[in-house]
Structure 1
Amino acid sequence: MRTVSSRENPLYKELKQLAGSSQARRKAGRTLLDGVHLCESYLQLRGAPLQCIVAEGALANPEVGAIVQRVEQARVHCTALPDALYKALSQVEHGVGIMFLIDTPTRAVPGVLRASAVLLDNLQDPGNVGSILRSAAAAGVTQVYCSSGTAFCWSPKVLRAAMGAHFVVEIYENVDLAALVRDAAIAVLATSGYATRRLYDLDLRQPVAWLFGHEGQGVADDLLALASDQVVIPHLGQIESLNVAACAAVCFFEQLRQNQSVETS
């Protein structure tokens, strides 16, 4: 393990850029995983990172020590930073003090949608995007397609909200959703507060693609027109609509419920 103590160090400068800029992360094709949970999930599901960065004050932590030992055994470079330099990188308040540098996956968009999927049209809140990824992974929906206006999935806030879902699902970004919907081999269901067909009246025992839109404006009109159906989640009370992440979770787990009821019948 080497120690970097200067803010002028080239590695530290690179890490600082990646920590603070989505543009830098997109350009480099790299991002930072901050915290024990994300690092452990990556090791378990994807393998060794490019580099491991640890705060000097965290080296005595047993969880951090175990991760450092695993990555060193895998011949991964580990770098220790003084606590002050590490905190300038980290966006996790009261974090433990370990992060991984990783490549962000790049995938070619499949020609035709055939498996259950999530389509995100211009969702801008990183917390919502991360929560949807987490719910999708938990419900067994493993393909996520994001329009160019959707929050960058490999940003720190999305990563924290998704809690490791990035390493379970396949994420495609800057996707032409209209072309994807137009050519889909499965039903594409768009959620809309103005729809008349209830979610619970649908047969979800076959693969479907779920289309969710902007937090305030919903799914764009051109995509709504292309969708196989528009659905609404019925609710009571004075609230106008559900948060998009909550809406997505209800949809995914209604699909899971229907499929599990078929398996047990």
Structure 2
Amino acid sequence: MPTRAEIKAWRSLHRGKGRRKTGCFLAEGRRLVGEMLEWPGRTVAVLHADAAEDEPELQALLARAAARGVRTEAVPEAIVRTLADAATPQPVLAIGEVPAYGWADVGDGKVVLLDGVQDPGNVGVLVRTALALGAAAVIGVGETADPWGPKALRASAGASFRGPVFRTDTADAVERLAGRGIPIWVAAADAPPLEASPSGPLALALGSEAHGVSALLLAAAARAVSVPLARGVESLNVASAGAILLDRMRTGRPFG
């Protein structure tokens, strides 16, 4: 049984302060826990509601955890509800160490910068979409929500475990990309539509729907692009716009 101190520490993982202090994150549900048991990072513990212990899918997850030497604990359902962030939690969750991704892990290809994207659901969807479409990394800057928070992880459907996903400050991102010779393109509603797929490495910066990207990224950008919209439509959700631009950049298909 986890100690009171452990439960208190794990409960704090709902907040960025708790994740920064412990270096850990919380993943909820069968799918995310299953993804965690496939990744090379460290899974600290898998907790499950004792009332669900005979569930075949849960038994399979616990067997996989045991095979990796991961600590497993059967706990009262009340503890699962206490630790879970979801309104209707599943009977299993896991604690993992936040991976120490950094620029050394960023390979060739498209890099996605999320600048001030504060909604964790949008962050998670963009992580999932970007990595599915071949992005080399997803990097949060500015006031972007933590991609390792519980809501962002759920929205990513486990994609965060399959690629470099990390945060840094905007100035560091601009300097590092310039040092690698990687141009920055920013998405902006008032920019010309994306017309051709760029060749070579590129960083696509996506900003908040309210404010767009920061002045620092705008100043560093080689180009601004947009998604052409039908008459009367003012804007797209940032996750939708990002998915469309990334798909066009990958396939080279023109708009129209």
TM over 0.5: yes
Please give the alpha-carbon distance, in whole angstroms, between the structure 2 residues aligned to 1:221 and 1:74.
46
- Tell me the amino acid that sits aligned with residue 40 of structure 1: G
Unaligned runs of at least 5 residues, structure 2: none
Q: Give 1:81 deviation, angstroms.
A: 1.3
- 1:183 is aligned to 179
Judge which range, 213-222 or 112-121, deviates more. 112-121
The question of 1:95 aligning with 2:114 is answered no
Q: Which residue of structure 2 lines up, in the alignment, with residue 158 of structure 1?
A: 152
- Check the 8 A contact 2:185/2:223 in 1, yes or no: yes
Counterparts of residues 46-57 of structure 1 (less than 5 Å): 46=40, 49-57=43-51
* Corresponding position of 2:12: 17
Specify the code of the residue in structure 2 equivalent to 1:168: R
1:255 aligns with 2:249: yes
Determine if contact 1:53/1:81 at 8 Å carries over to the other structure: yes
Counterpart for residue 262 of structure 1: none
- Which residue identity is paired with 1:154? W
Task: Give the Cα–Cα distance (whole angstroms) in 2 for the partners of residues 86 and 58 of structure 1.
Answer: 11
Does the 8 Å CA contact 2:196/2:249 hold for their aligned counterparts?
A: no
Q: Which of residues 37, 43, 65 in structure 2 aligns to 1:71?
A: 65
Change (3 A) 1:73 1:112: closer
Deviations 1:166-211 (A, max 9, x none): 0112022123333234434133211111112x11x12334332111
Q: Cα–Cα, structure 1 residues 141 and 111, in superposed 2: closer, same or farther, change >3 Å? A: closer
Counterpart-to-counterpart distance in 2, 1:235 and 1:184: 33
Q: Normalising by structure 1, report the TM-score.
A: 0.87
Query: Superposition pairs for residues 135-214 of structure 1, below 5 Å?
Result: 135-175=129-169, 176-196=172-192, 198-199=193-194, 201-214=195-208
Q: 1:95 to 1:190 in 2, by over 3 A?
A: same
CA pair 112-79 structure 1, distance change in 2 beyond 3 A: closer
Q: How far apart are residue 110 of structure 1 and its match? A: 4.4
Q: 1:195 to 1:184 in 2, by over 3 A?
A: farther
Change (3 A) 1:111 1:168: closer
Provide the C-alpha distance between the structure 1 equivalents of 2:41 and 2:10, rounded to a whole number of angstroms: 21
Which deviations, in whole Å up to 9, do the C-alpha atoms of 1:22-47 show, x marking residues without a partner?
11111211011111000111212336
The DSSP-based 3-state class of the residue aligned with 1:66 is helix
Task: Report the AA paired with residue 211 of structure 1.
Answer: A
Q: For 1:114 and 1:100, how far apart are their aligned partners in 2?
A: 32
- 1:140-182 deviation line (CA, Å, top 9, x unaligned): 1131121142111110010000011101120221233332344
**Residue identity in the other structure for 1:179:** E
* Change in CA separation of 1:215 and 1:184 when aligned onto 2, cut-off 3 Å: farther
The answer to whether residue 227 in structure 2 is matched with residue 233 in structure 1 is yes
Deviation sequence 1:62-105 (CA, Å, 0-9, x none): 11111111112322211111111211111223332111111001
SS for the counterpart of 2:252 is: helix
Identity, % of aligned pairs?
29
Structure 1 unaligned residues grouped into runs of 5+: 260-265
CA contact (8 A) 2:9 2:22 kept: no
TM-score (norm: length of structure 2) = 0.90
Q: Which secondary structure does the structure 1 equivalent of 2:37 belong to?
A: helix
Aligned runs of 1:22-33 on 2, under 5 Å?
22-33=16-27
- RMSD between aligned alpha carbons? 2.1
Give SS of 2:185's match: strand
